[in-house]
Each structure stands twice: as C-alpha cells, then as structure tokens.
A and B are shown apart, each in its own frame.
Chain A
Amino acid sequence: MNIVVCVKQVPDTATERKLRSDDKTLDREAADGVINELDEYAVEEALTIKEAHGGEVTVLTMGPEKASESIRKALAMGADKAVHLSDEALHGSDALSTSYALAQVLKKIGFDIVLLGSESTDARTGMLAAMLSERLGVPQVTLANKVEIDGSSLKAQRLTDYGFDRVEASLPAVVSVVEKINEPRYPSFKGIMAAKKKPVEKLAVADAEIDAAKVGLAGASTEVVDFADAPPREKGQIVKDEGDGGVKVAEFLASKKFI
C-alpha cells in the first residue's frame, strides 16, 4: 500500500498571526510553524493503515524551507520518507494552484491512497481534497472519521451534521479526515532520532513538471483584495445573581435569539 499524506505547515495558532502588507500573503517568518493539527490525524491514520496492511507512508509538503520542521515531525511519528515541494515560484499560490502543484507531484510519485486533513487552520478553505481528487480523477472521501481498507477498496464513515454516512470507494482514492478519527501518537525519542536518517526528496517546480505560470501569486485565480484586523473582543457582560440571576441570563439569551 503506497500511502501519501499531505502535510501543511501553518503558523502556530497560539502565536499572533499576521498578513504581510506588501503582497497580502501570510507572514510565515513572523510566527512559529507547526504541523496543521488535522494533518497529525492524517499521519496517524496513514501509520495505522500501514501497520495493518503493510506498505509505505510518504509525507508530501508544499511550503518554504522552514516547512522541513513539520516534515521532520511527521517522519518522527513514523512516516517512512518525504517529498518537499519548495520553490519561490510557489509563493502566494491559492487553493486551485496548490491543488494543481500537489496533483503534479502525486502523479509523479504514485499512490494508492492520499490522506489529508479536512482543513488547514490558516487558510481554512477545506477544498484541497475535492480539488485533488478532481485533478487526479479518483474518488474523494471527505470528513472521514473511520477508514477501513479492504483489498482494492475502502469503507469509510463520514461525519455529517445529522450523524454519519457510510461510503465505499475504489482505490486509489483521496481521503480527508476529521479529528474524531483517531488519537495521534507522540513522536517517541527513538522515532525522533530515526527521522533524521529518513530520505526527504526536495523538488522544485520544474522537477514535478509544474508550469510556473499556473502557480504563485501570478498564477492565482483568487486575489486577497483587502484585509483588516478582527475587532477586539468586547468585554463580557457580568450578571450578578441577586435572586434573579436565572431570569437575567434567560433574558439575555432571548435578546440574542438563542432561546
């Protein structure tokens, strides 16, 4: 089983995140980079599938040099090798062009199953799984909270608002996961030490037959026109219970149409 996990490095949600004023892209230097949290679940699922069915887990990341820290973490968790797509030409890519670039790499390296997080914590479009499956011409199974592999097909449970769907797809397929799917392991120290010996293949756009005109800021079909800081949170309203606390809280909730 050739399992590829797409891992994105995102700015740590615990630190302040900023957009650059010059080209309105994320200032990735200003914040500590971490693995997109849902991608840890995708890595865990990949490792679980490998443990049950054998095969190899490859981490695929598109991102600047610094993203190698996140690759290292995925390798420390137990992935076997990594492909790092890194090129100045990619800076400012939108979802459409990111999916194009990743799809080109996936065609080159081959796969039986591609695992993704269901969305990133920075851009949060949640569209990559759908876009990738379209570009690769394979089934998409999104928002999976359970995946079982059965020979040449997979059965999954999809989380929905009303419960879950049971879906089946033939392999190869693209699967995005939600955090209910598993509990990601901590990288053990042995895993961390072993990670530095695992192969990381660096690719530039030309190596993956990516047309540089279709990626980056210039190739993007969307444009960030403007941005503004979120308004500071207003101070909460404190209700003092003088025998009528319950009533006051209920009135407040009613005024906001919660009840």
Chain B
Amino acid sequence: MDLLRVDDQLTDEERLVRDTARRYAADRIEPHVADWFEEGVFPAAELAPELGELGFLGMHLSGYGCPGAGAVAYGVACRELEAADSGLRSFVSVQGSLAMSAIHKYGSEEQKQEWLPRMAAGRAIGCFGLTEPDHGSDPANMRTHAKREGSDWILNGSKMWITNGSIADVAVVWARTDDGVRGFLVPRGTPGFTTRDVHKKLSLRASVTSELSLDDVRLPEDATLPGVRGLRGPLGCLSEARYGIIWGAIGAGRSCYETAVEYARTREQFGRPIGGFQLTQEKLAWMEVALGQAGLVALHIGRLKEAGKVTPQQVSFGKLANVRAALDIARQARSVLGANGVTLEYPVIRHMTNLESVLTYEGTQEVHTLVLGEAITGLSAYR
C-alpha cells in the first residue's frame, strides 16, 4: 500500500537508487540482520566494501571517489537501508554524513586526499565523537580539550555513545581549545587513544557503540581540521545526518507497517482475519496516513535541500515529526502482531527498540521541540 504514491514524484535516477538500495538490503542484510541484532554484532569489515562499491558511503558528497548524488536520492537510499535496520543506516550516516562530511567540509586538501577515497570505498571506517558522558544535549560545555605543546596538540577527555568507535580507522574528535571548539583527526592506534564498547544495549544492537578515551594523546598540527572553529563545526555535520534520519525513519516505519498488514490479513481469530476487525483497521489506516505524511515531509525537505534553501529548523521539523511517526507506527504494529510481535522472528520489535535510539541521537525529541519553540516564539528555552 502507498495510497499517496509519493514515490511517483521521484526522478528515474532516484528510482534506480531506490531499487539498488532495496535489492542490496533484501539480498545481503535482511536475511541476517535479526541474528546480528540478537548477537549484538555488525559485520562492518564485510559490509563496508560492498556499501562502498555501490556508492552508499559519502553518497551525497562530490569528488574524492564519492558519487555526488542529490539530497533526495541520498534520502531514498537511507530509507531503504533503514527498512532493513536502523543500525545499518546509522553506520552509513556516521561514515558519510558525519565523519566524511566533516573532512569534506572542513578538512585540508591533504586530509581529503588521505581519507575520503578510502572511506568512500569502505576501506577505511570513520566515527564522530561529540557526545561525552556528562554532556549530551549540551555539547557547548564539553570537557574534552586540546592544549598546545610546541607545534603539537595534547588531547585529554572522553567521548561516549560513539557509533563505529572501536572499528574506526579514524575518529573525528571535537575538543575545546583556547581558540574555541576544534575538530581533530585521530587515527586508530595513536598512543593514549583507546576505545571500549558499550554492551547490554537493547537498541541498535546491530551497530557498534563505543566510548573513546583520550589520555595525553599527542597530535601534530596537521591533525586539526583547518576549516572551522566553534560548535558550528559539529553542528553543521549533524544537520546533514539528521536529514538522512528524516528519510530513514520512514523505512523502519514502513517495514513495521507492511509486516502488520500482512499479519492482519492472514492471522485469524474468532473465525476471521484480524484485519477484518475495525480496531485493527483503525490502526492500519492510521499507519498508512502517518507514513504518507512522513513521506511528503521528507520529499519536501529534500527538494528544499536540493535547492539550497533548507533551514536547520526545517530539518528539526522533519526529524521530530518523522521519528515520532515511525516509533508510533512500530508500537501500533507490534500490538497487531500480538505475542509474535515481541520476537525477533518479525522485524517489528527490532525496529521499535532501534527507533528509541534514533529518537535520542542527533538531537533528542525535546531538543528539536525547543528548536521549533524558539522558531515560533522567538524565545530560546535552552540557551
């Protein structure tokens, strides 16, 4: 079902991107992802080169081996990947929209040459360290700092909840300096730089989440990203990644919806399919409406982005609206599946718990609500 046929608005090219992403997810991810989730693993070494070969990594960037796709094509790819699992989309978002985009936006020519082609090919993995144990929504007060020593920098501090942290070949680490917040490229194996994975997560289990520790890490001057100073550096990258979530959330929601529709048609109780009961139909109709609306929001924001007109408030609008819709759809779909809804035999509860992370990262629902509140009233509630 897709009553509004939002995809009819896509160009031929965007449809081809969709088809490639959908086929890849169906062939390579969907058959295994429930097991990865259960085991708490993400086989990055195997998947990254495949994702790179097809062009998922740094997809919307141009040059340095990146395909230079438009915003909507990139969004559609995120949607299809997240229909398989939010962990997969997170991997691609962090690699392309956070780590690569930081280097692409703010890096020196040498840094771009060194990292981007390998990262686009999936032969090097990146992570993006902004959040700290004590500073999440409020990164301006981060503790991690870098001090000059001669021409070198000495970094100390720690970063928490970092996707791809322990599997990254290069960490983009944001630290305060006398000169404002700056970005540093920290290669794996740099003395004093260690990682530890977060275990016992019940969400995004098919995704690596780590703590990064920086203990007197010595870096040369050319490890800094020369192009930006201040918090607008990391925030600029986050806006890119959030945009992908606006689309990705639809994928997760759609997968839950499709599962619920199929189940409602075939599961019989009281002598007929549960889809024939009005209460079930109300749930399905509501999901259809929510997905259609989310699809229109994503497409609209995507076209604005392609025209170079999108504002951070519009991206907040999309993230707030679409993740909430997807999570509500997942919960409704779970109830349609009854007891089967709580097992990993069906994708629904996996999406549902994944979406709890998506709700929190890249700006919590509350923070995006406050961004809109400020846009509406002119009064900032948080700074």
Interface residues of A (CB under 8 A from B): 68-69, 72-73, 76, 186-190, 192-193, 195-196
What's the least CB distance linking A57 to chain B, in Å?
A: 17
What's the least CB distance linking B283 to chain A, in Å?
A: 26
Give Cα A193–Cα B69 distance, bound, in whole angstroms.
7
B interface, over-half SS: helix
Q: For residues 1 through 55 of chain B, which have their beta carbon under 8 Å from a beta carbon of chain A?
A: 12-13, 15-17, 19-20, 23-24, 53-55
**Can you offer 6 A-B residue contacts whose CB atoms are under 8 A?**
A68-B12, A72-B13, A73-B16, A186-B20, A189-B20, A193-B69
Nearest B residue to A73 via CB reads B16
What's the least CB distance linking A235 to chain B, in Å?
A: 15
Give Cα A193–Cα B59 distance, bound, in whole angstroms.
11
- What residues on A are CB-neighbors of B16 within 8 Å? 72-73, 76, 187, 192, 195
B73 and A189 contacting across the interface, CB-CB below 8 Å: yes
Give Cα A197–Cα B73 distance, bound, in whole angstroms.
17
The answer, yes or no, to whether B91 is at the interface (CB within 8 Å) is: no
Give Cα A255–Cα B20 distance, bound, in whole angstroms.
46
The answer, yes or no, to whether B157 is at the interface (CB within 8 Å) is: no
B12 and A188 contacting across the interface, CB-CB below 8 Å: no
Give Cα A188–Cα B13 distance, bound, in whole angstroms.
11
* Beyond A187-B19, A189-B54, A189-B56, 14 additional pairs, beta carbon < 8 A: A68-B12, A69-B12, A72-B13, A72-B16, A76-B16, A186-B23, A186-B54, A189-B17, A189-B73, A189-B77, A190-B67, A192-B16, A193-B13, A196-B13
- What residues on B are CB-neighbors of A195 within 8 Å? 13, 16
- What residues on B are CB-neighbors of A186 within 8 Å? 20, 23-24, 54
A68, A69, A186, A187 interface centre (most CB from chain B within 10 Å): A186
A193 and B67 contacting across the interface, CB-CB below 8 Å: yes
Interface size on B, residues (CB 8 A): 19
What's the least CB distance linking A198 to chain B, in Å?
A: 12
- What residues on B are CB-neighbors of A193 within 8 Å? 13, 67-69
> How many inter-chain residue pairs (CB < 8 Å) link A and B?
48
Give Cα A196–Cα B77 distance, bound, in whole angstroms.
18
What's the least CB distance linking A49 to chain B, in Å?
A: 21
Nearest A residue to B20 via CB reads A186
B12, B59, B73 interface centre (most CB from chain A within 10 Å): B12
Give Cα A73–Cα B67 distance, bound, in whole angstroms.
16
What's the least CB distance linking A242 to chain B, in Å?
A: 22
B17 and A192 contacting across the interface, CB-CB below 8 Å: yes
| 3 interchain residue pairs of minimum CB distance | A189-B55, A189-B67, A190-B67
- What residues on B are CB-neighbors of A187 within 8 Å? 16, 19-20
B68 and A188 contacting across the interface, CB-CB below 8 Å: no
B12 and A189 contacting across the interface, CB-CB below 8 Å: no
A189 and B15 contacting across the interface, CB-CB below 8 Å: no
- What residues on B are CB-neighbors of A73 within 8 Å? 16, 19
A72, A76, A190 interface centre (most CB from chain B within 10 Å): A190
- What residues on A are CB-neighbors of B55 within 8 Å? 188-190, 192
- What residues on B are CB-neighbors of A196 within 8 Å? 13
What's the least CB distance linking B213 to chain A, in Å?
A: 36
Nearest A residue to B62 via CB reads A193
Give Cα A195–Cα B77 distance, bound, in whole angstroms.
18
- What residues on A are CB-neighbors of B20 within 8 Å? 186-189, 192
B67 and A72 contacting across the interface, CB-CB below 8 Å: no
Nearest A residue to B14 via CB reads A192
Give Cα A196–Cα B67 distance, bound, in whole angstroms.
13
- What residues on B are CB-neighbors of A68 within 8 Å? 12
Nearest A residue to B8 via CB reads A32
- What residues on A are CB-neighbors of B12 within 8 Å? 68-69, 72
Give Cα A189–Cα B56 distance, bound, in whole angstroms.
7
A189 and B69 contacting across the interface, CB-CB below 8 Å: yes
Give Cα A190–Cα B56 distance, bound, in whole angstroms.
10
Give Cα A196–Cα B56 distance, bound, in whole angstroms.
19
Give Cα A105–Cα B19 distance, bound, in whole angstroms.
30
